[in-house]
Amino acid sequence: MATYILLLEFLALACSVALASDHSPLQDFCVAEPNSPVLVNGLVCKDPKLVQADDFFFSGLHLPGNTSNPVGSKVTPFNVAQIPGLNTLGVSMARVDYAPWGVNPPHYHPRASQMLTVLEGTLEVGFVTSNPENRLITKVLQKGDVFVYPVNLIHFERNVGYGNAVAIAALSSQNPGAITITNAVFGPKPDISSDILVKAFQLDKKEINFIQSQF
């Protein structure tokens, strides 16, 4: 019996150690030091004694983005690259501007979920569920409305009004990343073989070559 009790105590101790984790940061902040030669999964911390207010500051959210491009939208990010103080905090933002009938093309964020808040205009938004269902979930948003995109799901926005539209995106990563589907499929360097894309999209090679030439 004593041996049995001792074994249970050992297992309980082992489990408590294995399940231990940090539930809060180990220091007040970890301001990114982008020039450090050390490579880590993230960014090295600057010496806290050298941290200044500007490490937590960025101005420009009020400035409209240039939407004079083929898709008619412009994303202005505010992540750890612009605000070093975001390092390890797991949040970032972006301003998205849309020309009339402009589109933020189908894309996804490999490291973040997203909340989109409409500041001006009317947006059609949506995301697609994963295989095999591939169900489109979509809604038209007005000023003041909020919509959520789950992490890793393809999503998009379209300005369905006749004036400009503006939205703010809040993301659950300091560096959420963005993979635009058309750019990734038709514009990588080197190109994906057109033979692969012909089968994938059920188009002929001339059509595939033309689409690739646009990227």
Give the integer Cα–Cα distance in Å for 53 and 201.
Answer: 51
Angle between helices 205-213 and 194-201 (to 10 degrees): 110
Give the contacts of 70 (CB within 8 A, at least 6 positions apart).
Answer: none
39: tokens are 């490579």
What is the spatial distance between Cα 12 and Cα 17, in angstroms, rounded to a whole number? 9
The verdict on whether residue 109 carries a ligand-binding annotation is: yes
Which residue, 193, 86, 104, is CA-closest to 141? 104
Owner of token pair 């001792």: 6
- Dihedral over Cα of 73, 112, 146, 82: its sign: negative
CB 172 within 8 A of CB 151: yes
β-partners of residue 170 are 93, 115
Instruction: Confirm or deny that 107 is annotated as ligand binding.
Output: yes
Dihedral sign for Cα 154, 176, 140, 163, please.
negative
Contact assessment for residue 83 and residue 53, using Cβ atoms and an 8 Å cutoff: no
**134 annotated ligand-binding residue:** no
Annotated binding site for oxalate: 104, 109
Annotated binding site: 104, 107, 109, 155
Annotated binding site for Mn(2+): 107, 109, 155
